[in-house]
Amino acid sequence: MKHSGKAARAALRLVWWTLVLLLAILAAGVVARYFSAFISTIAGALVAMWVVFAALTFYFFRDPEPKPVALSDPKAVLAPAHGKVDMVDEVTEPELMGGPCRRISTFMSILDVHVQRAPVSGKVTRLEHKPGQFLSATKAHSTQVNEQVLVGLEPTDAPGAKVGLRLIAGVIARRVVPWIRVGELVNRGERISLIQFGSRVDLLLPLAAQVLVQPGTRVKAGETVVARMP
């Protein structure tokens, strides 16, 4: 499938560079071994820590395929992220939606899957990186001030309508990696980005959209139906 394996490759790059650093430290330890037994103890501890780090990194960057969802309703909107919905409200969003809209905000903990998927099929109309702060994603106002990537979509099955995404960085998740470009056509449930080590995703929908989840609902990207387009 499109973009399959990209999360694993991102994890591999991270593990590889930490391995290079570890080997450099161990090489220095070998040189210093004849001067202090303490260095050997430290080297052993570093190896154990790296093994744990590598295992956790591959777990954090996992990218499971969603369970097949039989969607006979072309207006169904899928969750863009794994995590827990903690805000469902009406907001004014001039940048992506041009005014008032529905917002479904999903908090992704460090233990959740970090790959995001397209909530609807459509054309990417906007992709913009916005520098910002790195506040905890548990804070509601982080959606406005944190570093983020804005994604605009024009749904195939709702011509003229707008769907927006805010892919938000956080204290730990300081990098958002989009895998799409403006003008590209994406399919509902297709991989579109990676937020390393969790954070928050805001899904923005027209006011007339029917929201099917509430705060506290656990959702899975590309699998859970969270709303229905008007």
CA distance 39 to 222: 49
Choose between 180 and 64: higher pLDDT: 180
CA 124 to each of CA 115, 121, 154: distance values in angstroms, whole numbers, following the listed order = 18, 10, 7
CA distance 156 to 136: 35
Residue of 121, 142, 193, 199 marked catalytic: 199
- Locate 122 and state its tokens: 């459509």
Query: What pLDDT score does 110 carry?
Result: 84
In the three-class reduction of DSSP (H, G, I as helix; E, B as strand; rest coil), residue 180 is classed as: coil
Which residues touch 75 (CB under 8 Å, ≥6 apart)? 157, 158, 228, 229, 230
Query: What pLDDT score does 22 carry?
Result: 67
pLDDT tens digit string along 46-100? 778 877 877 877 777 778 888 767 678 889 999 999 999 999 999 999 988 999 9
Query: What pLDDT score does 219 carry?
Result: 97
- The arithmetic mean of pLDDT across residues 184-208, rounded, is 91
Query: What pLDDT score does 192 carry?
Result: 95
Query: What pLDDT score does 131 carry?
Result: 86
pLDDT tens digit string along 23-52? 776 666 665 565 565 666 676 777 788 778
Query: What pLDDT score does 2 carry?
Result: 67
- The arithmetic mean of pLDDT across residues 104-108, rounded, is 94
Query: What pLDDT score does 146 carry?
Result: 81
Average pLDDT for the chain: 84
Known active-site residue 199: yes
What is the identity of the amino acid at 90? E
Query: What pLDDT score does 187 carry?
Result: 94
Domain range annotation of the chain: 1-61, 76-228
- The arithmetic mean of pLDDT across residues 160-167, rounded, is 94
Query: What pLDDT score does 186 carry?
Result: 96
- How much is the pTM? 0.79
- The arithmetic mean of pLDDT across residues 99-113, rounded, is 93
Query: What pLDDT score does 79 carry?
Result: 97
Choose between 59 and 185: higher pLDDT: 185
The CATH class for the domain spanning 76-228 reads mainly beta
pLDDT higher than threshold 60 for residue 153: yes
- The arithmetic mean of pLDDT across residues 202-221, rounded, is 96
